[in-house]
Amino acid sequence: MGYEVNKKLREMQGYTVEKYDDSVIRMDANESPYDLPVRVKAKIAAAIARTDFNRYPDPMAEETCKAFADLHNIPIECIAAGNGSDELISVIMASFTKKWDRVLSLLPDFSMYRFYGSIGEIKPILIDKDENLDFNADDVIEKANEENAKLIIFSNPCNPTGRGMMYDDVEKIISSVEALVVVDEAYMDFWDQSVLSLINKYDNLIVLKTMSKAIGLASIRLGFAVANENLTGYIKKAKSPYNVNTVTQKIGAIVLNEWAVICERIEKIINGRDCLYANFTERAEKCGYRIQKTYTNFVLLEFNNAENARFVFETLKKNGIAVRHMDNKLRITAGTNYQNEKLLEEFDSIFTEAGVGNV
């Protein structure tokens, strides 16, 4: 009698990533289009050259957490480092909930919330966003309390919608529920409504941050969970002892101390995003899609039907431009000026050749 994998794993839908070669313009993964300056890379190379590769990394990533703490004026005791914020989501979902607990999330939102929840066999409580891809704080509060949710998790600003909830509304949720509230601020470097300042005001708040988006360090996998000292202690207890490797720690600390460079890049990305938003807004009616204002580094196009979205996606891909396709939507990351211009040229040619509004 052979071994049989359990039903949970058999029915699990894994997170799929499409691979592209270096010739493709990558506007699909919300990465920064800008690599680190040579000067900063030289600092990193020197630091790595001094690394003792035969030793385990610092289990608390103290140097890296201190750089983050100094930057945001937060006590280091309130910060836990992770192998990307994905690992921290997994740790939080697994350790702060039990089997069959109710966890509230939103649709659409980052798919990994439900993925990690399914591994822990929690009961998902979902709230659909409205036609403008927004949600109401009162609806979240009512549903969480009605369902006795143990945890609420959402991204702000949101991936994949690009929309955002204001500071006061987020605080209203935190202060009105007994559940743990996890606010994923992966894209907050492109906006100004962070609730980091509330971590010591409330005992039920965890804020997630990442180095992968605005900071441009997707390759090293580094994120942070920020909460009061008590909650942070539990996260540190639940995580793997050596979860962030030494090279990642050193790179993270160096780059966090080069914030002026990062701010210049963020400004460029925001300008590129605004350029895409303005250009796609002009084309929306004649090309048959809807676009909402965005607070992230990407724009989201909602086509009239999934077939049109698929056609545009495949045509762009054939012409060397990768964007993210989701049913009737295309999520497009802001690139360099050249990449944005190339995208818009290819986009226009699709509709010119296929017929306006009838791709």
| Residue 159: CATH number of its domain | 3.40.640.10
Closest CA to 218 of 81, 29, 15: 29
Q: Considering 257, 285, 318, which residue would you say is the last residue of a domain?
A: 257
Overall average pLDDT of the 125-146 stretch: 97
Whether 195 and 305 map to the same domain: the answer is no
Whether 119 and 81 map to the same domain: the answer is yes
- CATH code at position 310: 3.90.1150.10
Whether 186 and 283 map to the same domain: the answer is no
Q: What is the pLDDT of residue 357?
A: 52
Does 115 map to a domain? yes
Angle at 331 between CA 209 and CA 162, to 5 degrees: 45
Overall average pLDDT of the 186-205 stretch: 98
204 or 11, which is more confident: 204
Whether 338 and 219 map to the same domain: the answer is no
Whether 273 and 241 map to the same domain: the answer is no
Domain ranges, residue 74: 47-257
3-state helix, strand, coil in the chain (%, to 5): 45, 15, 40
pLDDT over 60 at 155, yes or no: yes
CA-based diameter of the chain, in Å? 63
Cα gap 182→178, rounded to integer Å: 13
356 or 61, which is more confident: 61
Express each pLDDT in 235-259 by its tens digit: 999 999 999 999 999 999 999 999 9
Overall average pLDDT of the 55-78 stretch: 98
Does 7 map to a domain? no
Whether 344 and 303 map to the same domain: the answer is yes
Does 9 map to a domain? no
pLDDT level of residue 358 (50, 70, 90 thresholds): low
Q: Considering 208, 232, 257, which residue would you say is the last residue of a domain?
A: 257
Whether 204 and 285 map to the same domain: the answer is no
Q: What is the pLDDT of residue 356?
A: 46
Whether 243 and 169 map to the same domain: the answer is yes
Q: Both ends of the chain: CA-CA distance in Å?
A: 54
Q: Considering 227, 257, 287, which residue would you say is the last residue of a domain?
A: 257
What is the domain count for the chain? 2
Closest CA to 106 of 30, 158, 47: 158
